[in-house]
Structures are given as C-alpha cells and as structure tokens.
Amino acid sequence: MDTVRIFDTTLRDGEQSPGASLNHYEKLEIARQLDALGVDIIEAGFPITSQGDFEAVRTISNEVTRPVTAALARCMAKDVDRAGEALKGAPNPRIHVFCATSKIHREHKLKKAKAQIIQITRDHVAQARQYVDNVEFSPEDGSRTELDFLVEITAAAVEAGAATINIPDTVGYATPEEYGYIFQYVREQLPQLDEQGIVLSSHCHNDLGLAVANSLSAALHGARQIECTINGIGERAGNASLEEIVMAMKTRSDQFPDLRTNIDSKRIYPISRLVSQFTGLQVQRNKAIVGENAFAHEAGIHQDGMLKHRDTYEIMNPLDVGIPDSKLVLGKHSGRHALNDRIQQLGFTLDPQTLDRVYEAFKTLADKKKDVYDEDIESLIESELESATDIETFKLVNLQVTTGSGTVPTATVTVADASGMHRTQASVGDGPIDAIYSAIRSLTGIHIDLLDYQIRAVSRGKDAQGEVTVEARHRDRRVRGRGLSTDIIESSAMAFIHAINRIKTLDNRLDNADARDAEQP
Ligand code: KIV
Ligand code: ZN
C-alpha cells in the first residue's frame, strides 16, 4: 500500500475565498480538527501577507504538532525570512516556496526569462533550507508550463534542496488525462525523483469543475501528495475538495489499488460544518459527500429500493463520513457536563473559559427555546470563538421597527460604543432591514455597502433561531458578519454590526496589504 499524503490548504488557499476571513481562534480550532481528521500537512498561512497569517503559522506550528505545518513564501528573500521566523521552534515545519513558470506568467507578470526563474528558484529553495529541512517548491501555473521547462525547474529545485514538488493547475485549466500525463512525463524524464523519494504533489483549482478528477488522475500517475481544502473552498471556483478526494479513493478502492490516505473519514462531516460556520460560506445543498441532500432519497422509487436494500441507491454509508444517525436534543435542564459531552461529539475541543461562555449562552438560549439542537450549539460556539478576537466596538442595545403595507419602514436603533456610551438613531428605508442598516451606518459612521444578505433557520421548530449572514464591502475590503437570535430582525441588525466590528478588527491588524494585493497567487 502506498500513502497519498493529504495537504490541507483550507487556512491558506481556502481563506482566499472572497469574504472568508477567519480569526485567530477559528484558525486554531480548524487546525486542531484537521489534526484529528488525520491530514498529513496543514498549510497554515502566507506569513509575509499579514500579521494575522504570521501569527496563525506561529501558533499552529507550535500547538498542533503532529502534522507538518507549511508556510507559503514567494521566491523573495523577505518572504522566506518571514516564513522561517513564523516557523521558528516548531517541531514539524515546512516552507512552501513558489514561483510562476508558464510562458504567460513569465512574460506578463514576472517579466523574467527562463534562466532567471531557474536561478531565483535555486536561490530561494536554498534560502528556505537554511531555516528548515522540509522544503516544497511549486512552479505556479505549472499545468500551462512547457513540459521541458517544467522538468528543468523541477530538477533545479530538487538540486537546491526541495523534497516535494507541487505542480499546480493554478487556473483550473487542465483536464484529467492531460494533468495525469504531466506527472507521468516528469517522472519518466527524472527517474531520480522516485529513487530519492522526492514527492510529487497535485494542487487543483475548480474553474472547470475538474479539480477532484484532476487530483485523482495525478495520484494514478504517481502524485503522492494531494493539496485540497475542506468543502472545496478557495479562490474563484475553489480548490479540490478534500472530502470528495478521500471518499472517491475509499469507495472506489478498486480504481485506486494500493493507494490509501491517513484520513479518518468519520471526522469529515463535523469539520465540514465547522469550516462552513467559521467562514460563513454555506455548503451547497447538493454538494457531494457533505451537502444536505447528499444522502437524501426523495423519489418514491428510490425510497422503495432503499428500504429493500440500502445498496440499491446508496454507494456510501452516511455514518462513514460522520453524519450522525440521530440528533440529541438538549434543553434548559441539561447541565454543563451534558453540553460539554455534546460539544466534544460535535468535534470541538474548547478551553475552559470558552466552554464557560458557551454554557452561559446556552442557558440564555434554552430559556427562550425548548429544544436546543446540534446546529444551535455549533452556532453558539462559533459566536463565542468569533467574539474572542473581534473587537466588539459596537453592541446592539435596542431596536424598534415599524413597517407594513402603505407605511414608510422606520427603524430606531440604539447601540453602545466601545466606551459604553449609548447612541440612538432613527432612519427610514426601502424596507425594515434597509431602515435598520441605514440607522446603523449613521450611528457608527462606517459606510459599508451590503453585497449579500442571507437568512436561514438554524434548527427546527417554530422557536428556531434565525441566522443572518451578510457580506459587505468597506473601501477595498469584503467582510462577513453573522447574527443569531430567535428574532430575525434582531439577528439582521446583529449581523450588520458584526461586519462593522470585523472591519474595526481588521483595521487594527498590521496588514501588509501591498504583498497580498500585488502578487498573491
Ligand atoms: O494555485 C496555485 O498555484 C497556488 C500555489 C501557491 C501553490 O496556490
Ligand atoms: Zn492555489
């Protein structure tokens, strides 16, 4: 049996999804759950781009020590130094250096000749080796790079000390046969790679919906590391989805003979929920493996078949991906111990202080609603972890709304600012939410544009909590905000205030915007 290493880049490429920024606690919690899931490598960030990424790499590499922690760096001395600093003292560090190699990137982005690109690759891989033994090199836009140049740069990177060569399909352009052939070709031209135990890796984007198929094709042609993300989140149409790759290899092991991963598939569903909650990126209902409909059989003929024999219409058992077969309901008589048990079954490990806060919030909620479901608990945890690092500059104190046919919707909102002072404002709008948001803009003095507004019932029943997620833009920044309440008007206001508080938090971080804007892949 050969192991295909799973390199998870949810915290780096995944976090590049528009509006999906994660705070420090959320990143650490995701890293802990990735560890429990069994991933081999966690790409924790791109340290040169922001203080937040630097700290995420530093904390994760020192606290989540079983998997390798990778930090990304361009072929620039300052990037490699910053990645090296972030990984200092970590037991299992890797620096992942990349440089674009395709003709189009060489001529239009880098404006460098092939020989220069070979040289900077050698220099920066060697520089990275001064910090760590474990260096990965990626020729960015590798799938559109001339095959002979790809071979040349691979040989140069290995000579300079890289142990993993990742060939990205950066723009999601490749097809499975073509992508698989690239791996076959490189291995045929450089037999020393296999002899020296150099690992070839795939990294696929999903612009044509082929990211998973391409990754699997790479594995069939010798890739022994696959880079992917939970729920397939990532730039544009996203990256290859971890759960689909793992379950395809497991369910169709006949097609992937002698290949295995180290993933504990029963942990897939809890981490999918966690990432969706933290990023605010909802999983589409019909998404393979983790979507709400993935195991729902609606048609009568299917239901009949299922009742007679599950295998008629079900190729995987939902329990194998960690979808619980029954949901435990908690209520106001459930104690701290029962809550903590459930939290652990949902896959979370909370420190005692966070657990205390979640328990307080749970009691308040259980007073308002009879049954508290798993989804309610997940949302409470999410809110607590979020507020642990977001600066709560503004807090909703009071809200009144008048609306109806033939009435001009009017909202009167009171918020407390950071000093605790109350500010009140009345505004009108096209609808009640518009009126509330207009009042909040005036009160906070922060003019954010609403890009998206979504509402969903977190759990069942007429007392279900309503969760509102908003996406908003402030200058060149996009942020998400969430609000949760049994009153949807209140959760709408809370979501908007949360987005404003997030902007304040981000403004307070020492972001190196230049690096991120200019050359991030
Ligand atoms: O898509 C890409 O090319 C990347 C590299 C940095 C590996 O994300
Ligand atoms: Zn990528």
The CATH number of the domain where 500 resides is what?
3.30.160.270
Tokens of 456: 């969903």
| CA 96 – ligand 1 centroid, Å | 10
Number of the ligand 1 atom closest to the C-alpha atom of 205? 1
Give the pLDDT of residue 48: 97
Question: What whole-number distance in Å separates Cα of residue 186 and Cα of residue 151?
Answer: 6
The more confident residue out of 42 and 374 is: 42
User: How many contiguous H segments (helices) and E segments (strands) does the chain have?
Assistant: 18, 16
Among 10, 203, 235, which residue has the most ligand 1 atoms within 8 Å of its CB, making it the best to mutate?
Answer: 203
> What was the pLDDT predicted at 306?
67
Q: Is residue 43 part of a domain?
A: yes
Residue 11 sits in the same domain as residue 50: yes
344 in a structural domain: yes
Model pLDDT, residue 4: 98
User: In this structure, are 162 and 249 located in the same domain?
Assistant: yes
Asked whether residue 406 is domain-assigned, the answer is yes
Strand ranges for 240-315 from DSSP E = 259-260
Q: Residue 301 burial by CB count (10 A; 0-12/13-18/19+): exposed, middle or buried?
A: exposed
Ligand nearest to the CA of 173: 1
Do both 78 and 160 map to the same domain?
A: yes
Q: Is 139 in the pocket of ligand 1 (CB under 6 A)?
A: no
d(CA 377, CA 351): 16
Please indicate whether residue 140, judged by its CB atom, sits closer than 6 Å to ligand 1: yes
Final residue before a domain boundary, out of 243, 263, 279: 279
Tokens standing for residue 270? 């809890």
Residues 369 and 415 in one domain: no
Whether 297 is in a domain gets the answer no
pLDDT at 518: 47
CA dist 280 to 37, 274, 297, 378, 454, Å?
21, 10, 27, 13, 10
Whether the CB of 394 sits within 6 Å of ligand 1: no
Are 393 and 500 spatial neighbours (Cβ–Cβ below 8 Å)?
yes
Residue 319 lies in a domain: no
pLDDT over threshold 70, residue 521: no
Q: Report CA(170)–ligand 1 centroid distance (Å).
A: 6
pLDDT of the residue at 386: 66
Å from CA of 17 to ligand 2 middle: 11
**Residue 296 domain flag:** no
| 49-77 pLDDT per residue, tens | 999 999 999 999 999 999 999 999 999 99
In whole angstroms, what is the distance from residue 272 CA to residue 276 CA? 6
Confirm or reject: Cβ of 521 under 6 Å from ligand 1: yes
Co-location of 154 and 209 in the same domain: yes
* Structure confidence at residue 279 (pLDDT): 86
What's phi and psi for 180, nearest 5 deg? -60, -40
| Domain match, 199 and 221 both | yes
Residues 405, 358 share a domain: no
**Same-domain pairing of 382 and 402:** no
- Residue 109 CA, ligand 2 centroid: distance in Å: 17
Question: Residues 104-139: pLDDT tens digits?
Answer: 999 999 999 999 999 999 999 999 999 999 999 999
User: What pLDDT does 510 receive?
Assistant: 41
Neighbours of 344 (CB within 10 A): 11
- The CB of 234 under 6 Å from ligand 1? The reply is no
Element housing 453 (H / E):
strand 449-457
Burial zone of 299 (CB within 10 Å; 0-12 exposed, 13-18 middle, 19+ buried):
exposed
Contact 92, 60 (CB under 8 A): no
Q: Of the residues 95, 98, 207, which should be mutated to test ligand 1's pocket, given the most ligand atoms within 8 Å of the CB? A: 98
Domain co-membership, 403 together with 377: no
Cβ atoms of 384 and 359 closer than 8 Å: no
Ligand 1 centroid distance, CA of 234 (Å): 11
Model confidence pLDDT, tens digit, residues 294-310: 887 666 666 677 677 77
pLDDT value of residue 381: 86
Instruction: Assign residue 24 the CATH number of its domain.
Output: 3.20.20.70
In this predicted model, what pLDDT tens digit does every residue of 458-515 receive, in sequence order?
A: 777 777 888 898 989 988 778 888 888 889 999 999 999 988 988 877 666 544 444 4
Whether residues 252 and 337 share a domain: the answer is no
Among 248, 279, 310, the domain boundary falls at 279
Residue range 155-195, pLDDT digits in tens: 999 999 999 999 999 999 999 999 999 999 999 999 999 99
- Domain membership flag for residue 185: yes
Per-residue pLDDT of 383-406, as tens digits, reads 787 666 566 689 999 999 999 998
Please check whether residues 370 and 255 belong to one and the same domain: no
Q: How many domains is the chain partitioned into structurally?
A: 3
Whole-structure pTM value: 0.83
Q: Is the CB of 272 under 6 A from ligand 1?
A: no
Of the pLDDT bands very low, low, confident and very high (cuts 50, 70, 90), residue 11 is: very high
pLDDT at 517: 42
How many percent of the chain have pLDDT more than 70? Answer: 93
**226 within 8 A of 39, measured Cβ to Cβ:** no
Which atom of ligand 1 lies at the shortest distance from residue 72's CA?
6
pLDDT for the residue numbered 309: 74
Out of 13, 16, 17, 182, give the residue to mutate to test ligand 1, the one with the largest number of ligand atoms within 8 Å of its CB. 13
pLDDT confidence of residue 508? 61
Q: Output the six-digit token pair for 475.
A: 């200058």
pLDDT confidence band for 42 (50 / 70 / 90): very high
Longest pairwise C-alpha distance within the chain: 78
Ligand 2 centroid to residue 140 C-alpha, Å: 8
Domain boundary (279, 303, 334) is at 279
pLDDT of residue 512: 45
Q: How far is the CA of 466 from the centre of ligand 2 (A)?
A: 34
Do 98 and 225 lie in a common domain? yes
Structural domain boundaries enclosing 421? 395-512
Q: What is the pLDDT of residues 242-298, one digit of tens each?
A: 999 999 999 999 999 999 999 999 999 989 988 988 888 889 989 999 998 888 766
> 76 in a domain, yes or no?
yes
Query: What is residue 514's predicted lDDT score, i.e. its pLDDT?
Result: 43
Mean pLDDT taken over the chain: 90
H-helix segments, 369-487? 374-389, 432-444
